[in-house]
Structure 1
Amino acid sequence: MGSSWSSAAVKPAPNGYLRVEGTQIMLDGKPFVLKGAALGGWMNMENFITGYTGHEHQLREAMLDVLGKDKYEFFFDKANIHFLTYFFGEDDAKLFASLGLNCLRLPVNYHHFEDDMNPRVFKKEGLKHLDRVVDLCAKHGIYTVIDLHAAPGGQNIGWHSDNGSSIALFYDHKDFQDRTVKIWEHLAAHYKDNTWVAGYNPINEPTDRKYHRLNAFYDRIEKAIRAVDPHHMLFLDGNTFAWDFSHFPKPLPNCVYACHDYSPYGFPNPPAPFKGTPEQIKEHERMYAEKTEYMTKNKAGGFCLLLMESLADASSVRYGNAEDGIPNWEEINNDRFAMLETQLDIYARVKASWSIWLYKDIGFQGMTYVGEDTPYIKLLKPFLLKKKRFAPDAWGVDDSPVRALFEPLEKWLEENVPSIVDRYPQQYGTKLWLQRVVRETLLSEEMVKEYAGYFRGKGYDDLDELAKSFSLGGAKSEEDMFGGPEQL
């Protein structure tokens, strides 16, 4: 049967589909290592990537209130040139390929494909964004991984699944799973003949507090996708944000088991500065071995790590800058780059595929970043500085400005409801649960209205210039800023 995917500008990959054989990804009978990054902040927006607060559905609601329907659609999606097209264009694909990278992970939000008030009705226009970037990448020899980062009901409790609650309802309601299966049947039917698509990541970073429900869903989604598309690999994340495989059964065929190998040394408040000591290198080797024990034990799983999201998610680096008020911020960044190179060296030794998080943002973690002199950053500078003071985001945040306020609340909770220290996920602890409910939810939901207010009264030309800030012409690379890690 023919696929609905086609592009006159793109030829099929010459050697067919990538496949998992044992612990390796193979292409035409030979081992193939995927190396790349993720296009976070694009078809699944995240607060720290583009500077808003809260969750994407709250951002969009606030922007619609301020801009009105016509300007809202113009900024995000309506015109031929808008935020989504500026965010990744041909110049981005050329740069990506020039760095020797061969795989771009594409996180997507289910809202592009169906509406909550009109479920199970697939919005075909949602594919125009995926098709354009998949085609651009194929044109420049780059494979893509389609990643459902935000599924109906929220497959995890994080902001990155566009989940505004503290419960992953995806596992409690079969209807959310049914809708997710239907979305994947549509996507698989569309891309089944496209050999430049490396595979599908059915759900990102699941958090099933009962564990067995995730396994049941993986069994179901594997069969559903294979019935439509028997060729493409599946990238299956471990439970509890893609690091826990302890309850997984025997590996499924042609599946990459993906762990997210973040290191605490890459973010604010690390255990110590990373200086590449034998002890620190050994600790990273231990973390890698622990997270890939399931793959090693079963001699399967494609050995994919995502340096922050699916394949092998190695900890990308959270960059500092002069505005952090830390005199030695450049030295700290160099230490974090050294940590990243240590991880990449571990992956190279075992020939593991990897992907860092992420390709582009506003100067927080991306390989490229929106420049300080762009209209977008100039407009939002006061708000971005306020975010540093209030710490409403979750990812890589420095909470020192508000720590003294929250520490007494942590103590009070533990004294009065001691079971909170065992609340799933246990690695959260009281501190992160308090942060999640008070700052990441309550505070950030209110602050997103303030963010949207900066766009009030903007005309179409203004909105175009703001969106254009995210084009590669308005962005800079990490090499401009720090020199960048050498080992990509």
Structure 2
Amino acid sequence: MKQFVKAKDTRLYFGEKPLFLRGLGVGSWLNMEHFMLGIPTPDSMIRQSFTEVYGEENAENFFDDFFKSFLQAEDFQVLKDTGINFIRVPFNHRIFLNEQTGEYLEYGFAMMKRLLDFCEEYKIFVMPDLHTTPGGQNPDWHSDNRSGIPQFWEFAALRHQMTKLWGEIAKRFSSYEYLLGYDLLNEPSMASWEAMNSFYEETITEIRRYDTNHAIVLEGDMFAMDFSGLNHFDDSNIVLSFHYYPTVWNDKLLDKDMPREKRWEEFESGLLRLASIREQFKRPVICGEAGYDLHPDDMDFCMDLLEDTIAIFEKHEINWAIWTYKDAAFMGMVYPKSDTPWMQLAQKLREKWTHYKEMEQGKRMIHSAAEEFGGISENLAYKLQFRMRAILYEMQKEEILIPTLRDIPWEEIKTAPSSFLLENCEIWDCYQKLLQKFTQKN
């Protein structure tokens, strides 16, 4: 008889046994994030650029090779050896859906099946998360938002489309034991609670038409940090997930002169504020993302940050997934060697562009424009900087990415995806051992 993960009060169970999740996000795989791969612009614009330079067939082959190279059986063995029992897997809706015709694409479902089959084989729980939506559920690049406006919340037709997609996924994969559950939306932001609750309600109902086995995972507004207006849904297998990046919101926590005990206190107090939803909603909680940039010249400090964060999760029995398993040497435990084609491409592009430079450009341009109005509020400046960055994406595409690709022949660039094969990668030993310190406790 098959077993499935179930929520009972504030804990998770697999069958009759309590389950505590210690995991990793797999990284920039089925949804490509620019800073993680070293390539400017959101996912769909990266694809457009490759298509424009190398042609549609070559571009499709390139990204198919990337998907298949990035995560293979050998990677699951590394996860298993690390003691990980849980992975969170972001995916882009465009690999499942032709947005022009509304037809489903079998390619996306084949990739999901491949993923789930690996998880069944290696007995690692998996939580697929919808990282992008038509129009964007948040204004940032990681939702593949090209406008800086989260239009997903403005049009019910877009939300209905994603409700139906989740239903189709549930219909096809409801029998998998190691499918933890469905993370309906990654980091929604700037939503109305009416629209968000309506989307969640309709999507829960649609999934339950086909699947009563698996958990449904809900994230809050403000990039999964605000649950103040979330409904208490009438479903017995709901799990809540928040994200925790304390140094993003308070960069003073990166001051190495700050006593470690003081930083711990700041980390813990912030985490407990978010985790209080566990008691408020009487539901299990998962921190679906937490992590820090990795600096090769200062890995001791990076590991201190990570160790303290995980230790606080463990202290308060909060299920966790660290961001991330693999990327192009930014936050990943695993990364391609420096002499691989992908890293050589990333190095060329990072000489002209970085994620942080992009953010500063957007802020600077907004504040410059604001001077024409005698200044604007910080809240308005915050919202508008996403739109300014959308303009920057177009400039990056036309002035950086496409010219760089045109200098690289197809016969050379087509080998780049193989850079992510484990045989062509390095593993941060200190990172893996740190995780093992916690995963091998019991």
1:25-83, CA deviations, whole angstroms, 9 ceiling, x for partnerless residues?
A: 11122210111111231111110111111111111111101001221122112xxxx11
Match of 2:79 in 1: 96
Contact 2:326 2:333 in 1 (8 A): yes
Q: Partners in 1 of 2:408 and 2:366 — Cα distance?
A: 41
Structure 1, unaligned runs of 5 or more: 1-13, 309-313, 322-328, 424-429
Distance 1:41 1:346 in 2: 26
| Distance apart, 1:362 and its partner CA | 0.8
Which of 317, 320, 325 pairs up with 2:295? 320
Q: 1:23-62 residue pairs with structure 2 within 5 A?
A: 23-62=10-49
The one-letter amino acid paired with 1:413 is A
Segments of structure 2 that go 5 or more residues without pairing to the other structure are: none
Separation in structure 1 between the aligned mates of residue 123 and residue 173 of structure 2, nearest angstrom: 17
Q: Is 1:422–2:388 an aligned residue pair?
A: no
Match of 2:318 in 1: 352
Deviation, 1:379, is 3.5
228-237 or 257-266: which moved more? 257-266
Q: Which deviates more, 471-480 or 49-58?
A: 471-480
What's 1:426 paired with? none
For the Cα contact (< 8 Å) 2:35–2:355, is it kept in 1?
A: no
Query: What's the TM-score, normalizing by structure 2?
Result: 0.91
8 Å CA contact 1:40, 1:359 repeated in 2 = yes
> Offset of 1:437 from its aligned partner?
3.1
Q: Secondary structure at the match of 1:138?
A: helix
| Match of residue 337 from structure 1 | 303
Does residue 57 of structure 2 align to residue 70 of structure 1? yes
| CA gap 1:98/1:452 in 2 versus in 1, 3 angstroms | farther
Maintained 8 Å contact 1:274/1:336 = no
Instruction: Quote how far apart the aligned CAs of 1:248 are.
Output: 1.6
1:382 matched residue in structure 2: 348
Cα distance between partner residues in 2 of 1:339 and 1:52:
27
Secondary structure in structure 1 of the residue aligned to 2:89: strand
- Equivalent of residue 199 in structure 1, options 181, 184, 187: 181
152-161 or 243-252: which moved more?
Answer: 243-252
TM-score (structure 1 length as normaliser): 0.83
Larger deviation, residues 266-275 vs 370-379: 266-275
The 3 A distance-change label for structure 1 pair 272 and 228 is: same
Which letter maps to 1:53? P
- Cα separation, 2, equivalents of 1:242 and 1:71: 37
1:87 paired residue among 63, 70, 89: 70
* 368, 386, 392: which one aligns with 2:334: 368
Q: Indicate whether 1:19 and 2:1 are aligned.
A: no
Please tell me whether residue 215 in structure 1 is matched to residue 197 in structure 2: yes
Kindly report which structure 2 residues correspond to 1:436-455, keeping only aligned pairs within 5 A, or say none.
Answer: 436-438=386-388, 440-449=389-398, 450-455=400-405
**Given that residues 36 and 354 in structure 1 are in contact (C-alpha distance below 8 angstroms), is that contact kept between their aligned partners in structure 2?**
yes
Shift of 1:386: 1.6
CA distance in 2 between counterparts of 1:389 and 1:141 reads 35
Partner of 1:280: 263
| Alignment check: 8 A CA contact 1:319 1:365 kept | yes
Report the CA distance shift for 1:228/1:28 in structure 2 as closer, same or farther (over 3 A).
same
CA distance in 2, matches of 1:361, 1:159: 16
Name whichever structure is richer in helix by fraction. Answer: 2
Q: Which runs of 4+ in 1 moved over 4 A?
A: 265-271, 406-409, 432-435, 457-461, 480-486
Q: Contact 2:182/2:217 (CA < 8 Å) preserved in 1?
A: yes
Distance 1:141 1:413, change over 3 A: same
Could you tell me whether the CA contact under 8 Å between 1:369 and 1:475 is conserved in 2?
A: yes
Aligned partners of 1:111 and 1:336: how far apart in 2? 34
Label 1:274 to 1:350 Cα distance change in 2 as closer, same or farther (>3 A).
farther
In 2: Cα distance, 1:90 partner to 1:249 partner: 40
1:167 and 2:149 matched: yes
The 1:409–1:233 alpha-carbon spacing in structure 2 relative to 1, beyond 3 Å, is: closer
Point out the more displaced range, 358-367 or 265-274. 265-274
Superposition deviation, residue 408 in structure 1: 8.5
Query: Which residue of 2 is the match for residue 10 of structure 1?
Result: none
In the TM superposition, 1:456-471 aligns within 5 A as: 456=406, 461-471=411-421
CA distance in 2, matches of 1:58, 1:353: 34
Q: Give the % identical residues.
A: 24
Q: Contact 1:205–1:242 (CA<8 Å) still a contact in 2?
A: yes
- Is the CA contact 2:182–2:216 (under 8 Å) kept in the aligned structure 1? yes
| Structure 1 pair 246–417 and aligned structure 2 pair: CA distance change class (3 A) | farther
User: Given that residues 103 and 142 in structure 1 are in contact (C-alpha distance below 8 angstroms), is that contact kept between their aligned partners in structure 2?
Assistant: yes
- Where do 1:236-251 residues align within 5 Å? 236-251=218-233
Q: 1:410 and 2:363 equivalent? A: no
Q: Is the 8 A contact 1:478 1:484 kept in 2?
A: no
How is 1:147-158 mapped onto 2 (pairs within 5 angstroms)? 147-158=129-140
Q: Verify the 8 A CA contact 2:366 2:385 in the aligned structure 1.
A: no
Q: Rate the CA distance shift 1:458–1:227 in 2: closer, same or farther, 3 A.
A: same
User: What is the number of residues matched between the two proteins?
Assistant: 436
Q: For residue 189 of structure 1, what is the aligned residue in structure 2?
A: 171
Q: Distance in 2 between matches of 1:214 and 1:255?
A: 16
CA distance 1:189–1:373, shift in 2 (3 Å): same
The 2-side partners of 1:116 and 1:230 are apart by 29
Query: Retained in 1: the 8 A contact 2:244–2:271?
Result: yes
Within the alignment, does 1:224 sit opposite 2:181 as a pair? no
Question: Residue deviations 1:118-173, cap 9 Å, x none?
Answer: 11x11122211111122122211111111111112211111111111121111111
> Does the aligned pair in 2 maintain the 1:90–1:136 contact within 8 Å?
yes
- What CA distance in whole angstroms lies between the structure 2 residues aligned with 1:45 and 1:83? 10
Q: Pick one of 427, 430, 440 that aligns with 1:477.
A: 427
Q: Distance in 1 between matches of 2:186 and 2:327?
A: 20
Distance in 2 separating the partners of 1:238 and 1:284: 20
Q: Report the 3-state secondary structure (helix = DSSP H, G, I; strand = E; otherwise coil) of the residue aligned with 1:150.
A: coil
Q: What's the CA shift for 1:111?
A: 0.6
